[in-house]
């Protein structure tokens, strides 16, 4: 089993703000905005006002409550966005047989191909997060936090004429724009985790200390990985990534593939069981 640490949501270059950790522990990853006129702009994508995070409250409502007056990369607040990985079940209306899925293209997908990512491998999605208080004011440290997961059942190359299951048609990588990329690929989750049949094969986690990658008191890219990660191959990183007291994660690449061992697999099982 390979573990893929996949960086998603707002970052310093796109969006420009941390995603919020709500007072009740929910981790709401803010999907990146599309910039009009850019090569990757997707006119078929949803707007923030189309996505729901809390009953009748939309992601646009959340952005306004967070007092984000301008998203980095666009002059609009209610703009097109890219809600992928698509693992928040209640974000949109879903068909009865819907399940989580994640898409990738171009260099990032080529990297996953080169790493031979396939069935049973697990994506751990992480991003830039910060706690907010009851008034939606940011408080505390800037952190890299694992917010969700997906264990792969199958992957589907989705091109112009590819027929996909009905429940998958609304996925961000099944739009006309994304279908135009030669290596556009969608990873579909398992119904249940192979190592815990009581848990879904995809999901969003509730905040706890074990989901934090960042070493406390350090920059969010400086991680406190357990010692049994040393000597393990982590793509885009080398032995020099291990510094005095922390692991320096790179800004290069979206997916860091870990060729895991038994201890790392047990670590993954533990954080998923606790986060759910």
Position 57 scores a pLDDT of 94
Residue 82 tokens, joined: 């890219």
∠ CA 170-172-220, nearest 5°, is 140
Cβ-in-10-Å burial (0-12, 13-18, 19+) of 83 comes to buried
115-141 pLDDT, tens digit per residue, is 999 999 999 999 999 999 999 999 999
Distance CA 77, CA 79 (A): 6
Pairwise pLDDT comparison (77 vs 247), residue with the higher score: 247
22: nearest Cα among 148, 128, 132, 138: 132
Mean pLDDT, the chain, rounded, equals 95
Taking only the tens place, the pLDDT of each residue in 9-42 is 999 988 999 999 999 999 999 999 998 888 889 9
Residues of the chain with pLDDT > 90, as a percent, come to: 88
Q: How many CA atoms lie within 13 A of 220 on its CB side?
A: 19
Q: How confident is the model at residue 54 (pLDDT cuts 50, 70, 90)?
A: confident
According to the model, what pLDDT value does residue 45 have? Answer: 96
The Cβ of residue 13 has, within 10 Å, a number of other Cβ atoms equal to 10
Q: What is the pLDDT of residues 192-237, one digit of tens each?
A: 999 999 999 999 999 999 999 999 999 999 999 999 999 999 999 9
Question: What per-residue confidence (pLDDT) applies to 18?
Answer: 98
For the purposes of burial, counting CB atoms within 10 Å of the CB of 164, is it exposed (0-12), middle (13-18) or buried (19 or more)?
middle
Burial class (CB in 10 A: 0-12, 13-18, 19+), 16: middle
Confidence (pLDDT) at 245 = 95
Q: What is the pLDDT of residue 77?
A: 87
Residue 55, pLDDT above cutoff 90:
no
For range 52-65, the mean pLDDT: 94
> Where does residue 183 rank: exposed (0-12), middle (13-18), buried (19+ CB within 10 A)?
middle
Q: What is the pTM of this model?
A: 0.97
The CA–CA distances, whole Å, from 22 to 39, 77, 151, 247, 259 equal 34, 20, 25, 27, 33
Residue 73 pLDDT greater than 80, yes or no: no
Evaluate if residue 76 carries a pLDDT over 90. Answer: no
Distance CA(6)–CA(150), nearest Å, equals 11
72/169 Cα distance (integer angstroms):
29
Structure confidence at residue 75 as a pLDDT band (50, 70, 90):
confident
> Which pLDDT score is estimated for 37?
82
- Overall average pLDDT of the 164-178 stretch: 96
Phi, psi of 151 (to 5 degrees): -95, 130
174 against 70, higher pLDDT: 174
Domain ranges of the chain: 2-275
> Which has more pLDDT, 138 or 73?
138
């Amino acid at each position: 089993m390979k573990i893929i640490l996949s960086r998603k949501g707002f970052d310093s270059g796109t969006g420009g703000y941390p995603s919020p950790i709500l007072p009740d522990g929910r981790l709401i990853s803010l999907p990146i905005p599309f910039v009009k006129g850019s090569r990757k702009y997707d006119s078929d994508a949803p707007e923030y006002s189309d996505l729901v995070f809390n009953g009748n409250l939309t992601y646009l409502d959340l952005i306004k409550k967070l007092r984000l007056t301008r998203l980095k990369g666009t002059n609009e607040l209610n703009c097109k966005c890219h809600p992928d990985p698509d693992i928040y079940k209640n974000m949109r209306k879903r068909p009865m047989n819907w399940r989580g899925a994640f898409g990738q293209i171009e260099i990032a997908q080529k990297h996953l191909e080169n790493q031979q990512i396939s069935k049973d491998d697990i994506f751990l999605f992480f991003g830039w997060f910060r706690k907010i208080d009851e008034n939606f004011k940011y408080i505390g440290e800037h952190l890299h936090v694992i917010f969700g997961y997906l264990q792969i059942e199958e992957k589907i190359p989705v091109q112009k004429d590819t027929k996909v299951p009905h429940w998958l048609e609304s996925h961000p990588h099944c739009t006309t724009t994304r279908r135009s990329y030669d290596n556009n690929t969608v990873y579909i989750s398992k119904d249940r985790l192979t190592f815990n049949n009581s848990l879904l094969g995809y999901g969003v986690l509730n905040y706890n200390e074990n989901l934090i990658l960042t070493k406390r008191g350090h920059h969010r890219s400086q991680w406190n990985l357990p010692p049994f990660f040393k000597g393990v191959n982590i793509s885009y990183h080398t032995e020099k990534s291990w510094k005095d007291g922390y692991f320096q994660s790179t800004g290069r690449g979206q997916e860091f593939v870990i060729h895991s061992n038994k201890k790392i697999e047990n670590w993954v099982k533990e954080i998923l069981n606790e986060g759910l």
